[in-house]
Chains A and B, each alone.
Chain A
Amino acid sequence: MNHKSIESNKHQETSISKYLLVWVSLLVFTSITVTIAGLNLGSYALLIAVFIAIIKSSLVINIFMHIKYEEFIFKVFLAIGGFTLMIIFLLTFFDYTYR
């Protein structure tokens, strides 16, 4: 019992340091986006901004929102939700590109 509680404490201790690490990396990514936006990279700027936003959101979803540690069904749900949104975007973009 005692051994077990020490172990679970250890786990939570690492989760706290993990949260702090994620927070720091989110701030670093934010400063990278702001810096890149000031560089005048033209059309690449949007691509990089979207890419960084996706990295940031995967950090938030996996660690802060615990998806990484959730049961498999949560990942299936998330994949279906993300896939649906992607289909809606792709179909609309096709329509506007080849109209």
Chain B
Amino acid sequence: MNNENSIAIQNEHVVHRDDVGARLGMWLFLFTELLLFGGLFLVYAVYRHLYYEDFKIAALSLNTTIGTLNTIILLTSSLTVALSIAVLQKGKRQLSIILLMLTDVLAIIFMINKYFEWSAKIHHGIFPGSEHLLGLPEGQILFYGLYYIMTGLHALHIIIGIVFISIVLVFVSRGSVNENNYVKLENAGLYWHLVDLIWIFLFPFFYLIQ
């Protein structure tokens, strides 16, 4: 017992770690993401105000069912990543790995839904610069432009999140991220929750205008 303690104290002197600083750094990065998407939401708000009717008509063609399904999927994936941290803190490494894999699987299902959603739109001739889209009123062109940019940028974040979580998953399975040192997992979780947060706003603004 005593011996254990002295080893722990020694280790504390050898390993210089600042978990709070690491998380604070992650949050600083998340603020830049907040401003990036915030700017896009600002553009959205102004154009929705200027082209109220056009936005309404264009939004009706979006698939609310897929949007709702993807919302449920993302919220659940946020839960699984939060749980994976909680169980790793208790030393349940296997369970933590399974939960992280589940997060990745849910993220991939989200992307598959996105693929079907976008290809249906593109099939109907609605994509940036298409002849059909350019024939529509100005407000609708703007709506679809913002739709592709904002959900596309969000989807890019999903892909980055999948990579981020997978890398941390390898660390967890190798044991370098463990119950005593899990700040990397926490930061991956923070990133993933941000992706979820952005979707919480994207969903009603694009899919739920009636």
Q: Which residues of A contact B (CB under 8 A)?
A: 1, 9, 12, 15-16, 19-20, 22-23, 26-27, 30, 33-34, 37-38, 40, 45-46, 49-50, 52-53, 56-57, 60-61, 63-66, 70-71, 73-74, 77-78, 81, 84-85, 88-89, 92-93, 96
Contacts and interface: CB of A to CB of B under 8 A. Distances in A.
Given A23-B79, A30-B75, A64-B78, A85 B35 contact: yes
A23 B75 contact: yes
Task: Give me the 10 closest cross-chain CB pairs, A-B, nearest first.
Answer: A37-B208, A49-B204, A23-B79, A81-B31, A85-B38, A26-B75, A64-B82, A19-B82, A65-B193, A56-B200
Interface string B123-158: 000000000000000000000000000000000000
Interface size class of B (residues with CB under 8 A): 35 or more
B38 A88 contact: yes
Contacts of B38: 85, 88-89
A60 B45 contact: no
A84 B36 CA distance: 13
Interface in B155-210: 186, 189-190, 193, 196-197, 200-201, 203-205, 208-210
Nearest to A23: B79
Given A34-B64, A57-B200, A93-B45, 17 more contacts: A16-B86, A23-B79, A30-B71, A30-B75, A30-B203, A37-B210, A40-B210, A49-B205, A53-B200, A53-B201, A60-B197, A61-B193, A65-B190, A74-B24, A77-B24, A85-B35, A88-B38
